[in-house]
């Protein structure tokens, strides 16, 4: 994730700026502010932009501990995460740049 220099992050990881944008570091509220969650450090963790948005778009938002378990489970299997725009089609063209 990056906080201050998208250009540096993109160069370092060989990404386009559009791809790198998805890895912007955001403040993930474990309990959403709309549900009474505050801005204190016990309720905020770092999350990339995509993960932050996807978690809160689910029909049933997972509880913080359940989501932590899911993330750790996927990480242990090397499966966290491949944003859609980073997938490569059969010709090697980046789908995010089409």
Q: In this predicted model, what pLDDT tens digit does every residue of 27-78 receive, in sequence order?
A: 888 888 888 999 998 889 888 888 888 887 888 888 888 887 887 888 788 7
Judge whether residue 80 has pLDDT over 70.
no
Name the burial class of residue 85, with classes exposed (0-12), middle (13-18) and buried (19+) by CB atoms within 10 angstroms of its CB. middle
CA-nearest of 51, 65, 49, 69 to 6 is 49
Which sequence spans correspond to the domains of the chain?
A: 6-97
- On whether the CB atoms of residues 1 and 24 are closer than 8 A, the answer is yes
């Amino acid at each position: 994730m990056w906080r201050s220099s998208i250009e540096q992050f993109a160069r370092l990881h060989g990404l386009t700026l559009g791809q790198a944008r998805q890895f912007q570091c955001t403040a993930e509220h474990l309990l959403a502010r709309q549900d009474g969650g505050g801005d204190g450090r016990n309720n905020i963790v770092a999350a990339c932009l995509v993960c932050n948005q996807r978690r809160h778009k689910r029909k049933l938002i997972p509880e913080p501990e359940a989501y932590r378990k899911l993330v750790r489970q996927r990480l242990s299997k090397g499966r966290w995460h491949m944003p859609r725009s980073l997938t490569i089609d059969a010709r090697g063209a980046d789908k995010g740049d089409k």
